[in-house]
Structure 1
Amino acid sequence: MDAVILCAGKGTRLMPLTENRPKPMIPIAGKPILEHIINKIEGFVDNIYLIVKYKKEIIINHFKNHPKITFIEQKEIDGTGYAVLMAKEYIKDDFLVINGDIVFDDDLKNIVDYKNAMALTEVSNPENFGVVVLDDENNIIELQEKPKNPKSNLINAGIYKFEKNIFDILENLKPSKRGEVELTDAISELIQNGNMKGIKLNGYWNDTGRPWDLLDANKHLLKNIKTDIKGKIGKNVVIDGNVIIEESAEVKHNSVIEGPAIIKSGAIVGPLAYIRPNTVLMENTGVGNSSEIKGSIIMKNTKIPHLSYIGDSIIGENCNIACNTITANLRFDDKPVKVNIKGKIVKSVRKLGVIMGDNVKTGVQVSFMPGVKIGSSCWLGANCLIDKDVESNSFVYKKEEKIIIDKR
């Protein structure tokens, strides 16, 4: 059996994190989302076909040496159905289709036993997803797309098992109103023919559609790590809980690391740094004197040298966080932090800091209000309070009148 993983989308709801990388390549728990999926299935499939398009070279370069992976570029037509259709010439028998941006615990052993099946999961907000209705024998009898009044709390989890004849259905589909060939339209035809089972997933599932979903998935995956310390540890370092410190990483004197946490190769922590639970420092990052990081993902080559606090945040690659930069992550009223997602203000979670793109530089004493997003390649001048989203390639600075008088 083979697997097709859909990795062509842009992930606009996760901007600015997806400005410079495909959504499946956003790192959680120390490696890209897509790598977690591949690790889960590579032991029981013969071939893995990655459907790529947006920033495809990043995916290709990362996985080019994997013996089971073949890359297929999605051409001119958008849509999940057309993405699956791209694999037609490669697939010889039944196969799996998996969205390349989901995090899940299930081992998928149940779903592979059926000819045509869709993985399902229960959520508290089904109106935001494709809602599924089952009969008593777990046949899918209805599929509702983001209904105002959902008939169940079971949703499409983005994992499918198909017979090869799904390609015949896809080839005859007309584009949807969005101008895309939709996989769900093909599934609707299977449902009408009574040929689609619904299989409930076991354990955790997350579609990582919004920044706080990434942090939640990161926290979940970190629960499973075991302590493995290969890096250099200085004097009076305190390590509490499960912590991974990779070879060539260094934790300098008098630093404290509370697990679960991952410190990747080349990272330097301390002296006197405080790494709190659910934090991941990716390769070649730096967290210096008296800086505190809590529940955050810090991407490659980003430096937070001294006297700063980063909480419940995601910081992109190659950023430089100047002295005394502070992220606020909690509202006074303790209500969910509001975030701008594609022009719409939505409620997120109780604690959320800053979402920052790549190549951002802050001046000294910059402060971020909860839930703000900073586009890539911005400069944020000294003493600025950032209380609104900042577009990419912006230079934000504050003008103050300085008065000097002769006091004699």
Structure 2
Amino acid sequence: MTPNAALFFAAGLGTRMAPLTEDRPKPMIEVAGKPLLHHAMDMAEGIERQVVNVHYRAGQIRDALAEDIMSSDETDQLLETGGGLRKALPLLGDGPVFTMNTDAVWKGPNPFDMLRSAWRDEMGGLLLLIDRSNARGHVGKGDFLIDENAQITPGQGLIYTGCQIIRPDRLSEVKTDAFSMWELWNRLLDERSLYGLRYTGNWCDVGRPDCIPIAEEMLRQ
């Protein structure tokens, strides 16, 4: 089943982006004259159901959405990535879904198209990863190792870009309201059904104010 729904994570507090987030949510901070949220959503053209989760200064994000884009309200409680996905499922529908963080910019192939082309029915999840040499603004040491069959395991190798296709079926097994995506990934890792795909373009993590000029320079190149 080919995914045709996407959740954009926009509910975080953006504490690493202070002081720019004192009066706006992080997804509304501009890079190259366009909010981060729109950098992400502009790549999802043609995906039938698009949902944005909201928490901090939610009204600003809702005001920026087109009429056909739905929002998943987390203003009462911040649910993290796993809990946010589970709450949005009634809006996303059945089957596998795309998810994308909204604090990065991309230059190269459309990440949704790459994931869609590589998706196979036996997969529980397909994460879009990138080599450190093609990543900008990211300070981590890497997230996953990948083998010759594209199956992944945690390790200091490729960086997770924040974009994936995931089957959300196992989310019902998690008993807490707020939880990270790792609660689902760990279950898929145990089943050997979590896969990775290398992104062939460039990507910039825009999690801190000093990352904005790095991202803008990447887009100009």
Whether TM exceeds 0.5 here: the answer is: yes
Q: Is 87-96 or 7-16 further displaced after alignment?
A: 87-96
Q: Verify: 1:8 aligned to 2:11, yes or no.
A: yes
**1:158 aligned residue (142, 159, 162):** 162
Q: When you count helix as a share of all residues, which structure comes out higher?
A: 2
**1:135 aligned residue (141, 147, 161):** 147
Could you tell me how far 1:103 is from its partner in structure 2?
0.9
Q: What is the CA–CA distance in structure 1 between the aligned matches of 2:188 and 2:142, rounded to whole Å? A: 16
Where does 1:296-375 land on structure 2 (aligned, <5 Å)? none
Q: What is the CA–CA distance in structure 1 between the aligned matches of 2:68 and 2:154, rounded to whole Å? A: 33
Q: What is the CA–CA distance in structure 2 between the aligned matches of 1:34 and 1:89, rounded to whole Å? A: 22
Question: 1:247 is matched with which residue?
Answer: none
**1:110 aligned residue (105, 108, 114):** 114
Q: Verify: 1:98 aligned to 2:100, yes or no.
A: yes
Question: 2:30 is matched with which residue?
Answer: 27
Q: What is the CA–CA distance in structure 1 between the aligned matches of 2:212 and 2:141, rounded to whole Å? A: 18
Structure 1 contact 129–156 (Cα < 8 Å) conserved: no
Where does 1:81-92 land on structure 2 (aligned, <5 Å)? 81-90=82-91, 91-92=93-94
Question: 1:185 is matched with which residue?
Answer: 183
Could you tell me how far 1:210 is from its partner in structure 2?
1.5
Question: 2:64 is matched with which residue?
Answer: 62
Could you tell me how far 1:171 is from its partner in structure 2?
2.5
Structure 1 contact 26–33 (Cα < 8 Å) conserved: yes
Q: What is the CA–CA distance in structure 2 between the aligned matches of 1:143 and 1:198, rounded to whole Å? A: 11
Question: 1:232 is matched with which residue?
Answer: none
Q: What is the CA–CA distance in structure 2 between the aligned matches of 1:62 and 1:189, rounded to whole Å? A: 35
1:211 partner SS: coil
Where does 1:232-247 land on structure 2 (aligned, <5 Å)? none
Q: What is the CA–CA distance in structure 2 between the aligned matches of 1:222 and 1:174, rounded to whole Å? A: 46
1:182 partner SS: coil
Structure 1 contact 133–143 (Cα < 8 Å) conserved: yes
Could you tell me how far 1:174 is from its partner in structure 2?
4.7
2:90 partner SS: coil
Q: What is the CA–CA distance in structure 2 between the aligned matches of 1:88 and 1:173, rounded to whole Å? A: 14
Task: Select the structure of larger CA radius of gyration.
Answer: 1
Where does 1:255-294 land on structure 2 (aligned, <5 Å)? none
Structure 1 contact 143–188 (Cα < 8 Å) conserved: no
Structure 2 contact 27–35 (Cα < 8 Å) conserved: yes
Q: What is the CA–CA distance in structure 1 between the aligned matches of 2:219 and 2:23, rounded to whole Å? A: 24
Question: 2:216 is matched with which residue?
Answer: 218
Structure 2: stretches of 5+ with no match in the other structure: none
| CA offsets 1:265-316 (integer angstroms, 9 cap, x no match) | xxxxxxxxxxxxxxxxxxxxxxxxxxxxxxxxxxxxxxxxxxxxxxxxxxxx
Q: What is the CA–CA distance in structure 1 between the aligned matches of 2:25 and 2:78, rounded to whole Å? A: 18
Quick one: which amino acid aligns to residue 151 of structure 2? Answer: N
Q: What is the CA–CA distance in structure 1 between the aligned matches of 2:68 and 2:104, rounded to whole Å? A: 20
| CA offsets 1:196-240 (integer angstroms, 9 cap, x no match) | 1100112111120121211111222244xxxxxxxxxxxxxxxxx
Structure 2 contact 39–105 (Cα < 8 Å) conserved: yes
Q: What is the CA–CA distance in structure 1 between the aligned matches of 2:216 and 2:139, rounded to whole Å? A: 25
1:87 partner SS: helix
Q: CA RMSD in A?
A: 2.1
Could you tell me how far 1:9 is from its partner in structure 2?
0.3
Structure 2 contact 130–160 (Cα < 8 Å) conserved: yes
| CA offsets 1:67-119 (integer angstroms, 9 cap, x no match) | 43101112425311111111111223322000011111231222113142000
Could you tell me how far 1:17 is from its partner in structure 2?
0.3
Structure 1 contact 46–68 (Cα < 8 Å) conserved: no
Structure 1 contact 33–103 (Cα < 8 Å) conserved: yes
Could you tell me how far 1:129 is from its partner in structure 2?
5.4
Structure 1: stretches of 5+ with no match in the other structure: 145-149, 224-408
TM-score, normalised to structure 1's length? Answer: 0.48
Q: What is the CA–CA distance in structure 2 between the aligned matches of 1:218 and 1:59, rounded to whole Å? A: 22
| CA offsets 1:115-154 (integer angstroms, 9 cap, x no match) | 42000011269872551011111111x124xxxxx3x2x0
Structure 2 contact 55–78 (Cα < 8 Å) conserved: no
Quick one: which amino acid aligns to residue 132 of structure 2? Answer: V
Change (3 A) 1:129 1:55: farther
Could you tell me how far 1:47 is from its partner in structure 2?
1.6
2:143 partner SS: strand
Q: What is the CA–CA distance in structure 1 between the aligned matches of 2:191 and 2:25, rounded to whole Å? A: 36
